Amino acid sequence: MELEMEKDAPKEASKTAPKPATPARSQAYKPEVALQFFKSFGKLERLDAGKPIFVENEAAGNVFAGGRKMYFLLDGEVELSIARKPIGKVAKGDVFGEMASISQMPRSATAIAKTATQVLALDEKQFVGAMEKSPEFALMLMSVLIGRVRETVFDLTIGGKLIDEDRWNRASIFDRQLLADLQRELEDKPATLHHLNKVIVKEGDRGIFMYLVVEGVVAISIAEKVVEKIGPGGAFGEIALVDQSQRVATATAETDCTLLAINRNDFMSLVKGKPAFAMALLKALAERLRFLDSKYRVVPKVPAKDAAPAKAAPEKM
């Protein structure tokens, strides 16, 4: 999967440039599931050696705008680079290009076919159609992104890179129409009121529900540092619900707020029956990961002769 993370390199690495790497696949990734997903609606594309597949900082727009697709590598060799410096390769059977596509953000790297290459490509319409047919891919993709979020949170917490002066990530993923549709879908489980300063979920607890914010504001904190403020249309708690593990953050009502709680059974039904719901959550996870990853880009103020270059490491499925 496409993701480039810049971390502070050890000082001893300052004399040598980082070597291209091919990261290990996430344990949650299943190539056969991804292949079936892309084959169901994707289009075969053949690329000559040297041809760019997508380029760094590709203009932002709607999902998959301007050729912003995601790809499954069938055959050949694809190289990822940042500022023309190779940072990794895509292995056969991997998906790449999905981060920018889902988050609607500019590409963070350039992908070039180093040899004659064959890929299966999905644009927005094809991706939504494939999700209706294969919701297990959406769940797998969520699991991969969640694994990265957990690793990033751990690294940031241990490294002390979360500080009180950080800007907040402002999350809002469900538009009014989709939020109203979800409330109708779950009308037998109405939204509930949570008063100011109430702790709704606590870091380290087991996840039973995810929550949609109908009214009010919820503050999300990691290691007692606020990293998000979620208003109407936002969601939290989905990470622990998907991987059935411990909460990575604490959620506290910053105002009186009304929340719609979704248990795992309802969550699974929504992912399988409503592609718009799954797409919104994927977008939220991608944006959350990009935001947390941005903390790695803060380089300590040290004399230039001692400064170590940022180290870029791609991650793929």
Shared domain for 36 and 94, answered yes or no, is yes
Q: What's the rounded mean pLDDT across residues 215-232?
A: 88
User: What is the model's pLDDT at position 285?
Assistant: 83
User: What is the model's pLDDT at position 60?
Assistant: 46
Please give the residue that has the higher pLDDT: either 45 or 135. Answer: 45
Angle at 141 between CA 312 and CA 77, to 5 degrees: 50
**pLDDT tens across 179-197, in order?**
889 989 898 989 999 999 9
Shared domain for 106 and 22, answered yes or no, is yes
CATH of the domain at 213: 2.60.120.10
What's the whole-model pTM score? Answer: 0.68
Shared domain for 207 and 119, answered yes or no, is no
Q: Give φ, ψ of 314 to 5 degrees.
A: -75, 150
Q: What's the rounded mean pLDDT across residues 255-280?
A: 90
Indicate whether 250 belongs to any domain: yes
pLDDT, averaged across the chain:
78
Indicate whether 63 belongs to any domain: yes
Shared domain for 41 and 94, answered yes or no, is yes
Least confident span in 37-41, 110-114, 178-182, 298-302: 298-302
C-beta of residue 151 within 8 angstroms of C-beta of residue 249: no
User: What is the model's pLDDT at position 21?
Assistant: 39
Shared domain for 129 and 172, answered yes or no, is no
Shared domain for 23 and 105, answered yes or no, is yes
Indicate whether 36 belongs to any domain: yes
Total structural domains in the chain?
A: 2
User: What is the model's pLDDT at position 276?
Assistant: 84
Residue 83 in this model has a pLDDT that exceeds 90: no
Provide the strand spans (E) within the chain.
Answer: 4-8, 43-47, 52-54, 70-75, 78-82, 85-90, 95-96, 110-113, 117-122, 169-171, 192-194, 199-201, 209-215, 218-222, 225-230, 235-236, 250-253, 257-263, 310-314
| Banded model confidence at residue 167, pLDDT cuts 50, 70, 90 | low
Q: What's the rounded mean pLDDT across residues 14-36?
A: 62
Q: Which of 248, 39, 67 is nearest to 137 (CA)?
A: 39
Indicate whether 153 belongs to any domain: no
User: What is the model's pLDDT at position 311?
Assistant: 37
Shared domain for 23 and 122, answered yes or no, is yes
Please give the residue that has the higher pLDDT: either 183 or 160. Answer: 183
Please give the residue that has the higher pLDDT: either 220 or 25. Answer: 220
The letter for the amino acid at 161 is K
User: What is the model's pLDDT at position 104?
Assistant: 72
| Banded model confidence at residue 44, pLDDT cuts 50, 70, 90 | very high
Q: What's the rounded mean pLDDT across residues 195-201?
A: 96
The letter for the amino acid at 237 is G
Percent of the chain at pLDDT exceeding 70: 77
Collapsed DSSP state (helix, strand, coil) of residue 82: strand
Least confident span in 97-106, 211-220, 243-252: 97-106
User: What is the model's pLDDT at position 297?
Assistant: 52
C-beta of residue 134 within 8 angstroms of C-beta of residue 278: no
Shared domain for 250 and 310, answered yes or no, is no
Q: What's the rounded mean pLDDT across residues 118-130?
A: 86
| Banded model confidence at residue 226, pLDDT cuts 50, 70, 90 | confident
Indicate whether 110 belongs to any domain: yes
The residue segments making up the domain with residue 206 are 164-273
Residue 84 in this model has a pLDDT that exceeds 70: yes
